[in-house]
Amino acid sequence: MIRRKLSVISGFLALSVITLIQVSCKSGTPSDLSGEHIIPVPVSVVATGDYFRLDEKTAICISDGSDELRQLAEYLAERLRPATGFAFAVKTTKVPPKGSIYLTFAGADSIPLEEGYTVTITKKLLTLAAKSPAGIFRGIQTIRQLLPSGIELSSVQQGEWKIATGTIVDYPVYGYRSTMLDVARHFFGVEDVKRVIDLASAYKINALHLHLSDDQGWRIEIKSWPNLTLYGGSTKVGGGDGGYFTQEQYSEIVRYADSRYITIVPEIDMPGHTNAALASYAELNCNGRATKLYTGTVVGFSTLCTGKEITYRFVDDVVREISALTTGPYFHIGGDESHATKKEDYIPFVERVQDIVLSHNKKSLGWDEISLGLLRPGTVAQYWSSAENAKRAVSQGAKLLMSPSSKAYIDMKYDSTTAIGYTWAGYIEIDKAYNWDPATLVPGIVRDNIFGVEAPLWTETITNIREIEFMIFPRLPAIAEIGWSPARLRNWDDFKVRLGNHGKRFEAMGINYYKSALVPWAD
Ligand code: TNX
């Protein structure tokens, strides 16, 4: 009798514990998809008020067995396995079972643009549909952000993994959203570059511009001109050991970037910013004498000898070797701050170099000064400071990559307390990095003239990956939203709250970010 009573009591207790658990689960359940803090903000989010749950049986299903879709499913599984501890088996099927995640190219015909995607979440199924693999990859980044920030941790976390139900339809305003890493002033190795690729791709950045040469260092092996790296790559700003990528390492970066749907854009800056080359080969100098290696930070003192034929053989070899290793369509020819080159020498140089680039089946990108010359069809000018140069490029029919130094130069200090960085373009706090619109910034330059946006990171004062992260975060997510999201949906007061909710996510990803006082960082 006593025993029976006990079992009734324990049964009652068990029941109440179950009820309690249900109640507490409910309160922690995300049931409003439209309240999620997605960066960049999606084009449209419609909530349906329920939730989808990941568990140990959740499979990642793909609609066809193509290698690319399978690799994307594996990529998603790799993001989800560590923190959940679930297996996430990848399966090919046209009929995904209840509770699975389904990646498909079907039903996405109406989504505009290659990178567009839809995420449809019901209680039974999470479907990510896109026209192209790039669209699936961008959609995966959204799915990561729909899960609690703990999903980014590398060890198994307790708790439930729920996603609010509804539909997201999303696609970018600009087809080119980029960041730049200067590996010339200070050198950063393959692992650092891969980290930048991973972090940038989480915010739907789709290009990485590598500034591979400058006065202080030449950072990519050129087999036909070996001294460029052996000597020209030997030092860096402030002196000490430099470094360079072998061609194998550069190819590894290109492959890795391709797997994250990021295009690598190699830059060889010319005819200025070339002291490392001029120190490596005497014949590139007009006076036939090699310069000394340079470890300072002054700009504008060096120039290739534009009147010598060997200069063009050199440029042709460099462009040919790098282009052969580059899967993307662009080669960046630099062209900035060539104060030591006479204008009458600069113009024919820039024109001839664009032809060399075209002869190796690439299109040129160049800093806005290149519009002094005739721009070849397909050349893109990168606006950084001169509206006049930018307008001259547009009047020639060229498109502009927008990197206004006073907004998008992420090597600028946030404020007077920032220990690293420059100030020549002003302080760039997070609100300043966010509050601008490429299509209205420069009078006379409109949406149709714009190719995309880029946040460049120059590295005179930046020496390691922790410092790179600090300058990139959170300004790169801000610039990423400018490039991806429609202007009508962008709003600082809304962005700062969404950003505040990414603090925990940054921490889970191990990112050393700037905790701006302007942002309400959530606990
Ligand atoms: C200007 S912007 C440069 C770079 C410097 C940078 C430092 C541009 C095209 N050239 O050479 O590294 O300022 O902020």
Residue that terminates a domain, selected from 170, 195, 229: 170
367 in contact with ligand 1, CB cutoff 6 A: yes
H or E element that contains 189: none
152, pLDDT greater than 50 = yes
213, pLDDT greater than 50 = yes
Residue that terminates a domain, selected from 150, 170, 190: 170
CA of 333 to the centre of ligand 1 (A): 14
411 in contact with ligand 1, CB cutoff 6 A: yes
223-243 mean pLDDT: 98
Within a domain: 418: no
Q: For residue 481, give both structure tokens.
A: 């939203």
Note whether 117 and 186 are same-domain residues: no
Residue in 209, 454, 458 to alter for ligand 1 test, most ligand atoms within 8 A of Cβ? 458
299 in contact with ligand 1, CB cutoff 6 A: yes
Of ligand 1's listed atoms, the one at least distance from the Cα of 185 is 12
448-456 mean pLDDT: 98
One of 152, 221, 337, 429 is an active-site residue; which one?
337
Q: From CA 293, how far away is CA 360, in angstroms rounded?
A: 30
Within a domain: 480: no
CB atoms under 10 Å from CB of 148, counted, come to 19
Q: From CA 76, how far away is CA 315, in angstroms rounded?
A: 41
Q: From CA 400, how far away is CA 384, in angstroms rounded?
A: 10
Note whether 325 and 194 are same-domain residues: yes
Within a domain: 508: no
* CATH number of the domain within which 43 lies: 3.30.379.10
Note whether 161 and 180 are same-domain residues: no
Note whether 448 and 331 are same-domain residues: yes
369 in contact with ligand 1, CB cutoff 6 A: no
* Phi, psi (deg, nearest 5) at residue 430: -65, -35
24, pLDDT greater than 50 = no
453, pLDDT greater than 60 = yes
Note whether 205 and 160 are same-domain residues: no
Of ligand 1's listed atoms, the one at least distance from the Cα of 425 is 14
369-374 mean pLDDT: 98
213-222 mean pLDDT: 98
Of ligand 1's listed atoms, the one at least distance from the Cα of 424 is 14
Residue bearing the bigger pLDDT, 15 or 96: 96
Of ligand 1's listed atoms, the one at least distance from the Cα of 460 is 12
pLDDT tens profile 32-66: 999 999 999 999 999 999 999 999 999 999 998 88
295-320 mean pLDDT: 98
What pLDDT was estimated at residue 28?
Answer: 56
Within a domain: 350: yes
Within a domain: 472: no
What pLDDT was estimated at residue 22?
Answer: 34
What pLDDT was estimated at residue 112?
Answer: 77
458 in contact with ligand 1, CB cutoff 6 A: yes
169, pLDDT greater than 90 = yes
301 in contact with ligand 1, CB cutoff 6 A: no
CA of 49 to the centre of ligand 1 (A): 49
DSSP secondary structure string, 397-423?
T-EEEE--HHHH-TTB-SSTT-SSSB-
21, pLDDT greater than 50 = no
Number of domains the chain contains = 2
Note whether 291 and 383 are same-domain residues: yes
Of ligand 1's listed atoms, the one at least distance from the Cα of 336 is 9
CB atoms under 10 Å from CB of 25, counted, come to 14
Residue entry with tokens 């075209």 = 358
Within a domain: 11: no
422 in contact with ligand 1, CB cutoff 6 A: yes
pLDDT tens profile 236-289: 999 999 999 999 999 999 999 999 999 999 999 999 999 999 999 999 999 999
Note whether 138 and 197 are same-domain residues: no
Note whether 113 and 218 are same-domain residues: no
What pLDDT was estimated at residue 65?
Answer: 81
Note whether 128 and 197 are same-domain residues: no
pLDDT tens profile 92-146: 999 999 999 999 998 888 887 889 999 999 999 999 999 999 999 999 999 999 9
269 in contact with ligand 1, CB cutoff 6 A: no
CA of 405 to the centre of ligand 1 (A): 9
Give the residue, by CA position, lying nearest to ligand 1 atom 10.
Answer: 336
What pLDDT was estimated at residue 110?
Answer: 81
CA of 208 to the centre of ligand 1 (A): 17
Domain that holds residue 393: 176-400+438-460
Q: From CA 204, how far away is CA 262, in angstroms rounded?
A: 9
Q: For residue 225, give both structure tokens.
A: 């001109």
Give the residue, by CA position, lying nearest to ligand 1 atom 2.
Answer: 384
Note whether 308 and 360 are same-domain residues: yes
Give the lowest-confidence range in 1-15, 365-379, 420-434: 1-15
* CATH number of the domain within which 371 lies: 3.20.20.80
Instruction: Work out the percent of the chain whose per-residue pLDDT is above 90.
Output: 91
70-80 mean pLDDT: 98
Q: What is the CA radius of gyration of the chain?
A: 26
261 in contact with ligand 1, CB cutoff 6 A: no
CA of 141 to the centre of ligand 1 (A): 31
Instruction: Work out the percent of the chain whose per-residue pLDDT is above 70.
Output: 94
383 in contact with ligand 1, CB cutoff 6 A: no
Residue that terminates a domain, selected from 154, 170, 186: 170
Within a domain: 427: no
Within a domain: 430: no
Note whether 220 and 88 are same-domain residues: no
Is 337 part of the annotated catalytic residue set?
A: yes
Note whether 187 and 164 are same-domain residues: no
Q: Is the Cα torsion angle 91, 96, 102, 104 positive or negative in sign?
A: positive
